[in-house]
Amino acid sequence: MDLSSFRLLFLLSLLVTHLSFSHVLADSHFEGFDAEEDDPVEDDILHHHSIPSPPVTQSNSQPLSDLETKSHPDPNPVPTSDSPSQSDLQKPSTTSFDYWDEDEFEGLPIEQPPPEPPKVTETATPDDPESETTSKPQNATVPKKSFTVEIACGSFLIVFIVNYFTGKRENENLALAWAAKFATKGSIFEKNFSLLGVGEGEDSPLLLKEGQTVFKFYASGRRYCQGLLATMELKSRHDLISRLFNLVVPCKDEITFEVYMNDEAMDQVVFAVAKKKAAKGMQKEVRDLQRFAGLMPTPSGRKWVVDELSVISESKEVAGDLITETVLEQVFGDKAFEKYGKNFISMHFSDQHPGLLRKMLLFKFALPDANHMADITRLVALVPYYIDLIGRYKLSSQARSKTEAARVKAAQEAYKELQNARQEALQRKKAEKKKMLEEAEAKLSAEAARKREAKDRARQMKKAMPRMKMTRAH
Partner 1 sequence: MSSHNNNSTSANDPRQPSAAKPYVAQPVSPQDLPVDYSGFIAVIFGIAGVMFRYKLSSWLAIIFCAQSLANMKNVENDLKQISMAMMLVLFLFRCFNQTGPAEVPVWRRALDWLTREPV
Binders of partner 1 in range 88-127 (CB under 8 A): 88, 91-93, 95-96, 98-99, 116, 118-119
Nearer to partner 1 by Cβ, of 164 and 271: the residue is 164
CA atoms within 13 A on the CB side of 131: 6
Q: Is 72 in the site for partner 1 (CB under 8 A)?
A: no
Q: Is 25 in the site for partner 1 (CB under 8 A)?
A: yes
Long-range contacts of 117-126 (CB under 8 A, 24+ apart): 117/55, 118/53, 119/29, 120/28, 120/29, 120/49, 120/50, 120/53, 120/96, 121/53, 121/54, 121/55, 123/30, 123/31, 123/32, 123/50, 124/50, 124/51, 124/53, 124/54, 125/54
Q: How far apart are CA 340 and CA 181, in angstroms?
A: 16
Nearer to partner 1 by Cβ, of 149 and 470: the residue is 149
Q: Is 423 in the site for partner 1 (CB under 8 A)?
A: no
Nearer to partner 1 by Cβ, of 78 and 265: the residue is 265
Nearer to partner 1 by Cβ, of 173 and 412: the residue is 173
Binders of partner 1 in range 279-338 (CB under 8 A): 326, 330
Under rule CB under 8 A, how many of the chain's residues touch partner 1? 72
Choose which of 239, 253, 351, 375 interacts with partner 1 (CB under 8 A): 239
- The distance of closest approach from Cβ of residue 272 to partner 1 in the complex, given in angstroms and rounded to an integer, is 20
Q: Is 222 in the site for partner 1 (CB under 8 A)?
A: yes
Q: Is 199 in the site for partner 1 (CB under 8 A)?
A: yes
Long-range contacts of 403-406 (CB under 8 A, 24+ apart): 403/268, 403/292, 403/314, 403/315, 404/268, 406/291, 406/292, 406/314
Q: How far apart are CA 62 and CA 431, in angstroms?
A: 76
**Which region among 23-31, 122-130, 247-255, 455-463 touches partner 1 (by CB under 8 A)?**
23-31
Nearer to partner 1 by Cβ, of 40 and 118: the residue is 118
Choose which of 41, 142, 161, 370 interacts with partner 1 (CB under 8 A): 161
Q: Is 150 in the site for partner 1 (CB under 8 A)?
A: yes
Q: How far apart are CA 381 and CA 237, in angstroms?
A: 28
Nearer to partner 1 by Cβ, of 18 and 459: the residue is 18
Nearer to partner 1 by Cβ, of 4 and 420: the residue is 4
Q: Is 393 in the site for partner 1 (CB under 8 A)?
A: no
Q: β-strands 195-196, 214-222: how paired?
A: antiparallel
Q: How many CB atoms lie within 10 A of CB 150?
A: 16
Q: Is 8 in the site for partner 1 (CB under 8 A)?
A: yes
